[in-house]
Amino acid sequence: MEIRRSLPQDMRELLHCLKMRSKYAVLLVFVIGLVIIEKENNFISRVSDKLKQSPQALAEANGTEISPAPAENGSLASLQELDAAFSQLRSHLYNITLQLAGDGDPGPRRHILLMATTRTGSSFVGEFFNQQGSIFYLFEPLWHVEKTVTFLPGGASAVGSALVYRDVLKQLLLCDLYILENFILPAPEGHLTPFLFRRGSSHSLCEEPVCTPSTKKVFEKYYCKNRRCGPLNITLAAEACRRKQHVALKTVRIRQLEFLQPLVEDPRLDLRIIQLVRDPRAVLASRMVAFSGKYETWKKWASEGEAPLHEEEVQRLRGNCESIRVSAELGLRRPGWLRGRYMLVRYEDVARAPLQKAREMYRFAGLPLTPQVEEWIGKNTQAPHDGNGVYSTCKNSSEQFDKWRFSMPFKLAQVVQDACAPAMQLFGYKLAGSPAALANRSFSLLEEAQPAWVT
Ligand SMILES: *[C@@H]1O[C@H](CO)[C@@H](O)[C@H](O)[C@H]1NC(C)=O
Ligand SMILES: *[C@@H]1O[C@H](CO)[C@@H](O)[C@H](O)[C@H]1NC(C)=O
Ligand SMILES: *[C@@H]1O[C@H](CO)[C@@H](O)[C@H](O)[C@H]1NC(C)=O
Ligand SMILES: *[C@@H]1O[C@H](CO)[C@@H](O)[C@H](O)[C@H]1NC(C)=O
Ligand SMILES: *[C@@H]1O[C@H](CO)[C@@H](O)[C@H](O)[C@H]1NC(C)=O
Ligand SMILES: *[C@@H]1O[C@H](CO)[C@@H](O)[C@H](O)[C@H]1NC(C)=O
């Protein structure tokens, strides 16, 4: 203080000036430093956010997974880490490009429902999905529901059963296979059952790890075709379902498309519905063979013409055709909730060009058709001889699909044509006006399929 006071006035001013400047300088350096750090931080955190997002973008497509929000933290990332991260990002992008090119990117989880009626070739078309390794396929699981839940005849029964079917279906699509335990008879114990209907028709239930070693001799009503497995462990099956990328299910027990709206709108599902139809004349011919007992009156009437055909039989036929037509009309009308989720397929078109139709179905489902499926189709549609058994899917399909024409009595065809005319018109099945027309090989009973059948 003494010294300072002793300095001349201008000297003191100079000192003061210097002090002020250095204060400013320090401030300036501090501000610049802040700006640089902030910029760096921003840059780093932006890049690191990008890096965090890129795997997330993949997972996002996976509707079932909710990714954690990226942390706002980049300040510790060193440039070295950044470099490593950059090359990882590049590798990621490269992988994504490869996958987009069609190399096994599983994509988002899809749920495919093959909706059909009996004897329409649904086992055959179902195989298109069963053969795909990344799809968990179930063959007619609602069979159990039908066997155990009985509804009184009358108006309410159709609604009642449709609601039960729908809700069970939803749980199955979500891989909650335990729901079936309520309907399997005898009831499973400890989630184990040897009685799951047609287990052998579902690859996913007959491969590791769902196929457990069979230990002791247990009576298995439904067993795997190519190997011996222990009773089905439903927990293992449900785990396999969750592990597989997609779920597909075939059923002949869902009649009304409108009942499926809650499933289509369920955010946990990405449902694609394929409705499979077939010429009702062919369906009747096939049912008379497969469900012989149920069609006694039809057979008697067709062969002898003595026993009269009950009006209620014809009404049932008409009812079946109408429910199929009503569903198809709803689908083809493209209501908002169904857009992009409904496809109508004629069995005859599948039989004539199986591979092409399989491709169309997979495209509709948003899945790549794998070589496994192509191979199966190749093997199973060109069999030189008639397949074995009525449920066989191994036939020369383009030869088989209209064989019924040549053995069906014309009057039987006529009854179907009368009862099912509106449906036949919608689906492009031509009416045969005479026995000669029915049996005329060069007269096709098929109109060309409409491209608008995929919505
Ligand atoms: C999708 O989710 C399942 C189960 O949460 C998971 O195992 C699978 O790896 C996910 N797929 C992708 C592409 O993230
Ligand atoms: C920032 O990230 C690093 C590495 O990812 C982590 O170790 C650190 O705890 C994070 N810091 C904050 C504040 O989140
Ligand atoms: C890209 O794919 C290769 C080969 O499949 C794999 O080794 C690599 O880890 C993948 N990179 C990323 C970032 O996933
Ligand atoms: C069925 O599988 C689950 C899951 O692996 C297992 O915990 C359970 O013990 C199995 N049940 C039986 C009876 O083996
Ligand atoms: C299957 O039937 C079609 C049509 O009749 C015929 O062209 C084809 O050669 C048959 N394939 C075999 C393997 O018999
Ligand atoms: C069979 O159908 C073709 C094409 O419709 C027709 O030209 C031909 O006359 C028919 N044959 C008989 C015997 O009806």
- Please spell the DSSP secondary structure of 344-374, one letter per residue: EEEHHHHHHSHHHHHHHHHHHHT-PPPHHHH
Residue 385 burial (10 A CB sphere; 0-12, 13-18, 19+) = exposed
Residue 245 C-alpha to ligand 3 middle, in angstroms? 19
**Domain map (residue ranges) of the chain:** 2-101, 255-352+377-455
CA-based torsion, 68, 72, 76, 79: positive or negative = positive
Q: Which ligand is nearest to the CA of 443?
A: 6
pLDDT in tens, 132-167: 999 999 999 999 999 888 766 665 677 888 899 999
Tokens of 315: 């009404």
Average pLDDT on 393-419 reads 85
Name the band, by pLDDT with cuts 50, 70 and 90, for residue 111: very high
**377 pLDDT more than 70:** yes
Query: How confident is the model at residue 9, as a pLDDT?
Result: 67
> 177, 236, 239: which to mutate for ligand 4, most atoms within 8 A of CB?
236
What is the distance, to the nearest Å, from the Cα of residue 182 to the centroid of all Cα atoms in its chain? 24
Average pLDDT on 240-269 reads 96
Residue 296 burial (10 A CB sphere; 0-12, 13-18, 19+) = exposed
Nearest CA to ligand 2 atom 7: 76
Counted residue by residue, the chain has a size of 455
Query: How confident is the model at residue 201, as a pLDDT?
Result: 96
Residue 93 C-alpha to ligand 3 middle, in angstroms? 10
**434 pLDDT more than 70:** yes
pTM of the model: 0.70
**220 pLDDT more than 90:** no
Q: Does 195 or 26 have the greater pLDDT score?
A: 195
62 lines ligand 1 (CB under 6 A): yes
Residue 179 C-alpha to ligand 4 middle, in angstroms? 17
Q: Which ligand is nearest to the CA of 90?
A: 3
Task: Give CA–CA dist 266/64, Å, rounded.
Answer: 12
Q: Which of 57-71, 243-257, 382-396 has the lowest mean pLDDT?
A: 57-71
Of 56, 137, 119, nearest to 365 by C-alpha is: 137
Q: Which of 91-105, 116-130, 303-317, 345-359 has the lowest mean pLDDT?
A: 91-105
Pairing of strands 246-251, 135-139: parallel
Q: Does 28 or 47 have the greater pLDDT score?
A: 28
> 53, 86, 91: which to mutate for ligand 3, most atoms within 8 A of CB?
91
433 lines ligand 6 (CB under 6 A): no
Average pLDDT on 353-366 reads 95
Q: Which of 19-23, 53-57, 292-296, 340-344 has the lowest mean pLDDT?
A: 53-57
CA-based torsion, 430, 431, 433, 438: positive or negative = positive
Task: Give CA–CA dist 345/362, Å, rounded.
Answer: 12
Q: Does 328 or 91 have the greater pLDDT score?
A: 328
59 lines ligand 1 (CB under 6 A): yes
Query: How confident is the model at residue 90, as a pLDDT?
Result: 79
Q: Which ligand is nearest to the CA of 231?
A: 4
58 lines ligand 1 (CB under 6 A): yes
> 54, 58, 60, 62: which to mutate for ligand 1, most atoms within 8 A of CB?
62
Name the band, by pLDDT with cuts 50, 70 and 90, for residue 392: low
